[in-house]
Amino acid sequence: MLPTALKSIYQQYKADTDVVANWLATTAYARGYSSVGSDPPAKTPGTKAQHVLAIKDFTPMAAHLANTATLKVPHFFAVAIERAIRVRKAFSKKLAASGAFTDIESDSKHAYFVNVLEEVRNLLKPALEAGVFNAEELKNAETTTEKSKNPLTNVFGILGVYEPSDAFINAPDVVVPKTPELEYIAESDKSTDEAIFALTALFDDYELLRTEITSLWAKYVAGSLDLAAVSVATNTAFEIARALEDDIQPILENNGGSERLVYTYFEALSSARGVEIMPKQRPYDAFNLEAYDIAKICLVNTQATLNRYRADNPPNTTFIIYDGVFGWYDEALGASGETNRRKDEQDTTGLLEILTGLHFLCSHLGKGLVEDEMVRGMDAMMNAPWGSTTPLWFAWAAQIYLDILQNLGKDCDKGYHEMQQEVFKIKKAMADVPIKCPERNNVLGRLRDGIRIR
């Protein structure tokens, strides 16, 4: 679970709708509202005093409040409802622009909830505090994403909706109720459409993390950050990515799991661009490589390689080092292959060359006291029940590894040589320690076992 300050886009959206539901219900009932001919809000299982408010009750409650005297809508409600409207409308618009999942029923579902929220806002508008968001900033952000050459930017471009203006950030006396204190929460949607919404929001979160990691490694190459700093930051990003997926896991599992949804989404996006993901040109291809660019952004590339590795290395089999059966990674070429096949070969070989090492580190032979997220991800994948899916965050982490590897080019061994130099410094420092000191021999022994000095 992520801390509140690191809430995902989808979780923030859900929190906003719950804030809207709670304020509407508590304020309306306190001011004499009664729902004639309807049942009281259903109690949430396992909670003491939390009830589910149906979406259909939002508008009647807002209409009742609009007719009461001296009503003042708090700032946090204005923020929550405005954000929820904008993120939902942006998602619908960008999903339609992508050409995927544009059926009438799906559009109607998205439009219904947006219309309800907009009607609530309009009814309460006279009492709403103004200046919560800068509409021009949002319009400019939407225009920028629409002009992007990236075919999926329009789909994954909803992140900007959760970037409020400076006036909002610096506004005084804004106290948002904490989620555990909410008496009412909004009715949940567990449909496939909602799962796709959650999935695209997750991809948007991942893209933000990816941008930050790329920036950090560029600073490392330039010499302004050291290896330890960027490595720890990257590992932290992997932890965040795992927590982000965990947050939306229930709705993903309710609709067949992340891998099924990703593949369905990948197929729909490819088809919308006139590319069929089948037939494959070669038996070992995971899909038609004409769809390589879309597959890469959807993490289908790395997920396919990870799945293939797990299938080829079932539990209790002899540990095998990669022998170059699919070729070797070309450091000079990096990600600059002239064809999609060459790019895919670079991705596959780059991953396979490290997967055997990760596999060893999560085995009984190689397990150590300290493990990073890549080792934990490999451990979870290899030791999961047979037939379970590869975690999406681990496929994303594998793609980040490829990004780093390919961006470093011929200097991809720079970090290894820096580690060697640090080991040399430690060994030199040990020269001043008496030979009979047990700690000295312990340190030197660990260095000898942990890294080979050439």
DSSP string, 316-381: TPPP-----TT----TTTTT--SSHHHHHHHHHHHHHHHHHHHHHHTSTTT--S---HHHHHHHHH
Residue 164 has pLDDT above 60, yes or no: no
**Res 169: pLDDT:** 42
- The verdict on pTM exceeding 0.75 is yes
Residue 205 has pLDDT above 80, yes or no: yes
Residue 395 has pLDDT above 90, yes or no: yes
**Res 49: pLDDT:** 64
Determine the average pLDDT of the residues in 379-407.
92
Looking at residue 137, its amino acid is E
Residue 124 has pLDDT above 90, yes or no: yes
Q: Domain map of the chain by residue range?
A: 4-189, 193-412, 417-450
- Residue the block writes with tokens 């800068």: 134
Residue 19 has pLDDT above 70, yes or no: yes
Residues 53-74: tens digit of each pLDDT: 999 999 999 999 999 888 989 9
Q: From CA 364, how far away is CA 382, in angstroms rounded?
A: 13
Q: From CA 202, how far away is CA 324, in angstroms rounded?
A: 34
Residue 149 has pLDDT above 60, yes or no: no
Residue 154 has pLDDT above 50, yes or no: no
Among the ranges 93-97, 156-160, 374-378, which has the highest mean pLDDT value?
Answer: 374-378
Within 134-233, strands assigned E span 184-186
Residue 194 has pLDDT above 70, yes or no: yes
Q: From CA 372, how far away is CA 377, in angstroms rounded?
A: 9
